[in-house]
């Protein structure tokens, strides 16, 4: 699989996008549930210093109908939005500590692709 295209300032994030960026919450959750503490750390260290710049770029685009490269960055940012607590709060654990089995939570709206 070729790496997804990204806006020029963020092309170096393409391998991370290939791994993490998916259009539906269920797909992103599957990836997150199989991630290790090292995976979360690598994503965090690459994304956190750039987060403000990424959000600034995304804020110039409507919530739907983005060009393909921006959309790929958006999906990577969505994956990071859901993954960052695992690094910041859960000690790198892919499950929320002392929690219910996340696989039993169902997205009621059919988990439409973003």
CB of 18 to another protein, least distance (A): 19
Total count of residues recorded for the chain: 114
Closer by beta carbon to another protein, 14 or else 32: 32
Q: Which residues are near another protein by CB under 8 A?
A: 44, 48, 51-52, 55-56, 58-63, 66, 70, 74, 77-78, 80-82, 84-85, 88-90, 96-100, 102, 104-109, 114
C-alpha to C-alpha distances, 51 to 16, 76, 92, nearest whole angstrom = 14, 11, 19
What is the nearest approach in angstroms of another protein to the Cβ of residue 10? 14
Structure tokens at 39: 């995976």
- With respect to another protein, which residue has the nearer C-beta, 15 or 91? 91
- The structure tokens listed for 108 are 């009621």
What is the Cα–Cα distance from 70 to 58, expressed in whole angstroms? 7
Q: How far is the CB of 53 from another protein (least distance, A)?
A: 11
Sequence-distant (6+) residues with CB within 8 A of 26 are 107, 111
Shortest spacing between CB 97 and another protein, in angstroms: 5
Determine the Cα–Cα distance for residues 79 and 58; give it in Å rounded to an integer: 14
Compare residues 1 and 112 and give the one whose CB is closer to another protein.
112
């Amino acid at each position: 699989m070729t790496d997804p295209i990204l806006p020029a300032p963020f092309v170096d994030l393409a391998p991370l996008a290939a791994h993490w960026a998916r259009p539906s919450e269920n797909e992103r959750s599957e990836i997150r549930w199989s991630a290790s503490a090292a995976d979360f750390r690598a994503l965090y260290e690459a994304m956190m210093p750039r987060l403000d710049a990424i959000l600034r770029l995304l804020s110039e685009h409507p919530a739907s109908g983005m060009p393909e490269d921006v959309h790929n960055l958006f999906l990577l940012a969505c994956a990071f939005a859901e993954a960052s607590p695992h690094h910041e709060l859960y000690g790198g654990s892919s499950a929320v500590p002392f929690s219910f089995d996340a696989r039993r939570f169902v997205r009621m709206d059919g988990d439409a692709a973003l």
